[in-house]
């Protein structure tokens, strides 16, 4: 089984693309909607919450967990891989969304990239760090969009206020650099506002959502790691867990996932 974790609904935009590409596997989604947003929480808090989430997914039988959240990938992933997994689950894998997205920017030969993200991701400068290892001729410009996740989690993405916020954040980005060629929606919640981003962005600027990128890179990863692929159960099951209100999850999650969803309640505790 493949586990997919996000602080709320956003990871469903990634799950949707992954399931479209690889429908044969069983998937288990966990949204920590009771504690969303993570974007302004401390690194320590995000780490603690993520250990609880990963432990939950492993105990449910996942062999591989995708952290479908940039905030968690930037603030906790490395520590999970280096400190938590070796002692607690040495035979399981946890992958994030930053490295594959950074590789995509290189593959596409982008030059001036706008990263729209939560405050946590922007403060971490994680894309600059990841790209330094590859060292391509790419310049990164960060723009935090702190009000978008709360407004999306409240199901208010169609309100005019949301459009105004998107336009204001893009103004902030283009004020830094007018010749940006690519914008990466580096928060898995933002694809739900893709049309608004497109409306306020010059036509020649490409806007990338992470769902299709993660789906392609995951397929490639599984082809290269047959030992992981062989451990994944097949059957096309999809199970959804939420720590928050199930009524809200079922109502709003369908918008992200594109199909009706019935979630199961989840309680997250720290592993012993």
| Encoded tokens for 21 | 């590409």
- Minimum Å distance from CB 236 to ligand DGL? 25
Q: Which of 69, 110, 145, 162 is catalytic?
A: 69
54-71 b/e (C-beta count within 10 Å ≥ 16 → b): bbbbbeeebbbbbbbbbb
| Encoded tokens for 198 | 């497109």
DSSP letters spanning 55-81: HHHHHTT-SEEEE--HHHHHHTHHHII
- Minimum Å distance from CB 186 to ligand DGL? 7
Among 52, 118, 143, 182, binds ligand DGL (CB under 6 A): 118
Active site residue 69: yes
Number of residues engaging ligand DGL in binding (CB under 6 A) = 17
State phi, psi for 259 to the nearest 5 degrees.
Answer: -145, 155
Q: Which is closer to ligand DGL, CB of 28 or CB of 72?
A: 72
- Minimum Å distance from CB 2 to ligand DGL? 18
Per CB under 6 A, contacts with ligand DGL among 176-235 are 187-189
Strand partners of residue 115: 142, 184
- Minimum Å distance from CB 27 to ligand DGL? 17
CA dihedral 158, 18, 245, 266 (to 10 degrees): -170
Residues across the chain: 272
| Encoded tokens for 140 | 């990164």
Q: Which is closer to ligand DGL, CB of 63 or CB of 118?
A: 118
Binding mask 7-46 for ligand DGL (x = CB under 6 A): xx-x-------------------------xxxx-------
Show the CA angle centred on residue 182, arms to residues 176 and 187, nearest 5°.
85
Q: Which is closer to ligand DGL, CB of 33 or CB of 201?
A: 33
Between CA 64 and CA 54 the distance in angstroms is 10
Q: Which is closer to ligand DGL, CB of 2 or CB of 66?
A: 66
| Residues classed as catalytic | 69, 187
List contacts with ligand DGL (CB under 6 A): 6-8, 10, 36-39, 69-71, 118, 121, 149, 187-189
């Amino acid at each position: 089984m493949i586990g997919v974790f996000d602080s709320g609904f956003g990871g469903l935009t990634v799950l949707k693309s992954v399931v479209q590409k690889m429908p044969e596997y069983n998937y288990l989604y966990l949204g920590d909607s009771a504690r969303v947003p993570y974007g302004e929480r401390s690194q320590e808090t995000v780490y603690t919450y993520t250990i609880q989430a990963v432990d939950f997914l492993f105990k449910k039988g996942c062999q591989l967990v995708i952290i479908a959240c940039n905030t968690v990938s930037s603030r906790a992933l490395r520590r999970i891989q280096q400190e938590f997994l070796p002692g607690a689950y040495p035979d399981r894998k946890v992958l994030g969304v930053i490295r594959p997205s950074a590789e995509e920017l290189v593959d596409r030969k982008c030059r001036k990239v706008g990263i729209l993200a939560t405050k946590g991701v922007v403060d971490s400068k994680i894309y600059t760090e990841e790209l330094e290892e590859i060292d391509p001729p790419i310049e990164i410009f960060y723009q935090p969009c702190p009000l978008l996740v709360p407004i999306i989690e409240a199901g208010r993405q169609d309100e005019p206020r949301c459009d105004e916020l998107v336009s204001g954040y893009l103004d902030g980005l283009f004020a830094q650099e007018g010749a940006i060629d690519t914008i990466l929606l580096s928060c898995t919640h933002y694809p739900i506002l893709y049309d608004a981003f497109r409306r306020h962005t010059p036509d020649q600027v490409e806007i990338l959502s992470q769902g299709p990128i993660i789906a392609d890179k995951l397929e490639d990863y599984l082809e290269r790691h047959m030992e992981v692929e062989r451990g994944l159960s097949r059957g096309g099951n999809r199970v959804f867990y939420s720590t928050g209100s199930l009524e809200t999850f079922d109502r709003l999650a369908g918008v992200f996932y594109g199909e009706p969803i019935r979630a199961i309640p989840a309680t997250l505790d720290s592993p012993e």
